[in-house]
């Protein structure tokens, strides 16, 4: 192994093994230990590891032309990917601006909303409303919108002003209400917030269509998005869906908004768009807003980036999309997602520290609590989910941690495997998680 001296690693508390190869849902390290990638990394490797057709597409595009500046040229993969996305995107969304990371695309979407208002002569609209317990990325703009306290706290003085409302998290309703008697107060709160800020100043509402990392996969109730859509329309507030995690088939639909029959004005995607092969993200927008920018005062979106609209990344993206279509993987997620849920319930429901199991498609969350009846969490300082996750890692199973589900406390873990996972591999995940929770909390509390 090359000596580990110069990399500033993501983890500083332990030596990381060297990953040397990966295929399907498995990753292998240099010592030959195999890991079942039960979360596709950061819920990103949607079509599985080691796809030769993606490697070939990327290779061929590199040989053809890997860089031609996006203000001087367009390229075939970007054109093809945008056409493909238009077929699957939420109704009305048919223009796509390509970038690299999810957080980067979130920032572009926030700016795009602002510029749309400018082009319509609504210069006073600049305010952004987002949600607590959300995840939108870690660069300063995305972090300002994001509502995960522990990530925000060290950098709070640097953040821009974003107004946060409570999320649709019925398990721990911030209003202390119970669904469905609650009247979906968390959605209606958007109207009150817009009125408090002054409707003429509000640019956009940004939220994950289905909450991912911060709430360990929590789909909102069916009424939530239609109410939000209506409020946004009433006050000319643009609705931005963050589908960086839940988009591109992850919930058993091409976009999670399909479950709610609601279309956003802007949709942000990332992760599964490039399938973990190459950084690739996109901001999709309705053509009327694209036209407003194109025909407006500035004649272009005042944005950019050296790696925007990148041909090689788009070549990976279009191949990922073709795989999803050819192998009917979105339909597979819809079907197999129910099997994942059933397996997790069967194996874990009885554990006294499992407070909740929820999810949709291939986005599942298991919430770990100190007391199953009251749902009171373990204090963050006990690092319960880190211990469970380390136990899983030793067993050779990789899942995705969530923290801060209850104030700064609260522990959850996400199961979000590649879309090709088989039933026996789902069983391996459920059994390993059972063992990790039992041995961490029950046998050695
Ligand atoms: C919903 C959501 N939005 C945005 C992001 C940020 O994406 P990236 O890490 O590519 O910047 C993430 C990453 O986990 C995410 O889950």
DSSP annotation string for 133-146: T----SSHHHHHH-
Q: Which residues touch 405 (CB under 8 Å, ≥6 apart)?
A: 133, 169, 172, 214, 215, 216, 367, 377, 411, 412
Instruction: Measure 241 CA to ligand 1 centroid, in angstroms.
Output: 12
Q: What token pair was written down for 311?
A: 């041909």
Using pLDDT thresholds of 50, 70 and 90, give the confidence band for residue 5. Answer: confident
CA torsion sign for 401, 414, 398, 247 is negative
Atom nearest to 104 CA in ligand 1: 11
Q: Which of 208, 217, 212, 265 is nearest to 242 (CA)?
A: 208
On the question of pLDDT at 3 being above 90, the answer is no
Q: Which atom of ligand 1 is nearest to the CA of 139?
A: 11
Report the distance separating Cα 241 and Cα 285, nearest Å. Answer: 11
Close Cβ partners of 198 (under 8 Å, ≥ 6 residues apart): none
CB 254 within 8 A of CB 247: yes
Ligand 1 pocket, residue 42 CB under 6 Å: yes
| Topology of the domain covering 19-50+328-442 | 3.90.1150
**Spacing, Cα 104 to ligand 1 middle (Å):** 9
Output b/e per residue, 224-245; b: 16+ Cβ within 10 A.
Answer: bbebbbebbeebebbbbbbbbb
Fold classification of 53-326 is 3.40.640
Distance CA 36, CA 436 (A): 15
Residue 290's pLDDT is 98
DSSP symbols for 261-315: T---SEEEE-GGGTTTTS--EEEEEEHHHHHHHHTSSSSS-S---TTTT-HHHHH
How many Å lie between the centroid of ligand 1 and the Cα of residue 103?
A: 6
| Token reading at 219 | 């789909």
Indicate which atom in ligand 1 lies nearest the CA of residue 279. 10
Residue 365 Cα to ligand 1 middle (Å): 17
Region 85-112: what's the mean pLDDT? 98
- Residue 180 preceded by cis peptide, ω within 30: yes
For the chain, the straight-line distance linking the first and the last C-alpha, in angstroms and rounded, comes to: 37
**Whole-number Cα distances in Å, 113 to 127, 158, 204, 301:** 10, 22, 7, 10
For ligand 1, whether the C-beta of 270 sits within 6 Å is yes
Task: Say if residues 254 and 220 touch (Cβ distance below 8 Å).
Answer: no
Q: What is the pLDDT of residue 1?
A: 61
Residue 172: C-alpha distances to residues 15, 47, 152, 179, 412 (Å): 36, 33, 21, 11, 13
Please indicate whether residue 106, judged by its CB atom, sits closer than 6 Å to ligand 1.
Answer: yes
In this structure, the residue with its CA closest to atom 13 of ligand 1 is: 137
Evaluate whether 334 touches 360 at the Cβ level (below 8 Å). no
Give me the torsion for CA of 82, 125, 143, 231, rounded to 10°. -80
Q: Residues 337-364: pLDDT tens digits? A: 999 999 999 999 999 999 999 999 999 9
pLDDT band at 2 (very low <50, low <70, confident <90, very high): low
Q: Alpha carbon of 162 to those of 176, 205, 242, 426: distances in Å? A: 24, 10, 16, 40
Residue 152 CA to its chain's centroid (Å) = 18
Q: Return all residues near 435 (Cβ < 8 A) that are at least 6 apart.
A: 391, 395
pLDDT at 444: 66
CA–centroid distance, 243 to ligand 1, in Å, is: 9
What's the confidence (pLDDT) of residue 219? 98
Q: Is ligand 1 within 6 A of the CB of residue 247?
A: no
Instruction: Show Cβ contacts of residue 77 under 8 Å, excluding neighbours closer than 6 positions.
Output: 57, 61, 311, 312, 314, 315, 317, 318
CA 59 to ligand 1 centroid distance, Å = 27
Q: What is the pLDDT of residue 443?
A: 74
Distance 84 CA to ligand 1 centre (A): 22
Mean pLDDT on 289-296: 98
| pLDDT tens digits, one per residue of 9-53 | 999 999 999 999 999 999 999 999 999 999 999 999 999 999 999
pLDDT at 68 over 80: yes
Both tokens of 211, joined, read 């909450």
In terms of C-beta density within 10 A (0-12 exposed, 13-18 middle, 19 or more buried), how is residue 193 classed? middle
**What is the reported pTM?**
0.98
- Phi/psi class of residue 328: alpha, beta or left (left: φ > 0; alpha: ψ in -120 to 50)? left
Give me the residue label for tokens 């979106």: 301
* CATH 3.90.1150.10 residue ranges for the chain: 19-50+328-442
Domain with CATH 3.40.640.10 in the chain: 53-326
DSSP state of 17: P
Q: What is the mean pLDDT of the chain?
A: 97
Helix axes 423-437, 384-395, angle to 10 degrees: 130
For residue 35, give the DSSP letter: E
% of the chain at pLDDT higher than 70:
99
Average pLDDT of span 236-260: 98
Any atom of ligand 1 within 6 Å of the Cβ of 276: no
Q: Which of 216, 270, 401 to mutate to test the pocket of ligand 1 (most atoms within 8 A of CB)?
A: 270
Q: Where are the alpha helices (DSSP H) in 360-417?
A: 384-395
SS3 for 320?
A: helix
Q: How confident is the model at residue 442 (pLDDT cuts 50, 70, 90)?
A: confident
What would the two tokens of residue 231 be?
């409020």
């Amino acid at each position: 192994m090359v000596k580990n001296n110069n990399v500033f690693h993501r983890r500083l508390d332990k030596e990381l093994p060297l990953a040397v190869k990966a295929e399907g849902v498995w990753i292998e390290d240099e010592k030959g230990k195999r890991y079942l990638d039960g979360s596709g990394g950061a819920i990103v490797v949607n079509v599985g590891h080691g796809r030769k057709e993606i490697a070939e597409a990327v290779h061929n595009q590199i040989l053809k032309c890997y860089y031609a500046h996006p203000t001087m040229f367009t390229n075939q993969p970007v054109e093809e990917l945008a056409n493909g996305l238009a077929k699957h995107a939420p109704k009305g969304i048919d223009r796509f601006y390509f970038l690299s990371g999810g957080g980067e695309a979130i920032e572009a979407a926030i700016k795009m909303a602002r510029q749309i208002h400018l082009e319509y002569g609504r210069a006073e609209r600049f305010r952004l409303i987002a949600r607590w317990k959300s995840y939108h990325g870690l660069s300063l703009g995305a972090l300002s919108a994001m509502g995960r306290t522990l990530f925000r706290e060290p950098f709070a003085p640097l953040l821009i002003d974003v107004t946060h409302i409570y999320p649709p998290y019925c398990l721990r309703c911030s209003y202390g209400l119970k669904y469905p008697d609650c009247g979906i107060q968390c959605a209606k709160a958007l109207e009150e917030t817009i009125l408090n800020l002054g409707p003429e100043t509000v640019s956009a509402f940004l939220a994950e269509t289905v909450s991912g990392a911060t709430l360990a996969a929590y789909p909102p109730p069916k009424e939530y998005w239609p109410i939000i859509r209506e409020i946004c329309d009433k006050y000319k507030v643009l609705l931005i869906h963050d589908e960086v995690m839940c988009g591109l088939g992850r919930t058993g639909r091409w976009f999670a908004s399909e479950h709610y029959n609601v279309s956003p004005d802007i949709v942000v995607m990332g992760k599964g768009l490039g399938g973990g092969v190459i950084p690739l993200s996109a901001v999709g927008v309705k053509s009327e807003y694209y036209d407003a920018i194109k025909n407006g005062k500035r004649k272009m979106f005042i944005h950019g980036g050296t790696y925007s609209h990148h041909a090689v990344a788009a070549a990976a993206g279009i191949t990922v999309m073709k795989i999803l279509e050819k192998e009917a993987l979105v339909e597979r997620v819809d079907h197999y997602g129910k099997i994942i849920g059933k397996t997790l319930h069967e194996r874990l429901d009885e554990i006294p520290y499992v407070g909740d199991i929820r999810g949709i498609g291939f986005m599942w969350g298991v919430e770990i609590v100190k007391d199953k009846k009251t749902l009171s969490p373990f204090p963050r300082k006990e690092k319960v989910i880190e211990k469970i996750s380390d136990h899983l890692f030793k067993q050779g199973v990789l899942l995705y941690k969530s923290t801060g589900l209850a104030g700064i406390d609260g522990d959850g873990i996400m199961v979000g495997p590649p879309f090709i996972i088989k039933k026996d591999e789902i069983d391996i995940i459920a059994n390993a998680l059972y063992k990790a929770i039992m041995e961490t909390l029950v046998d050695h509390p």
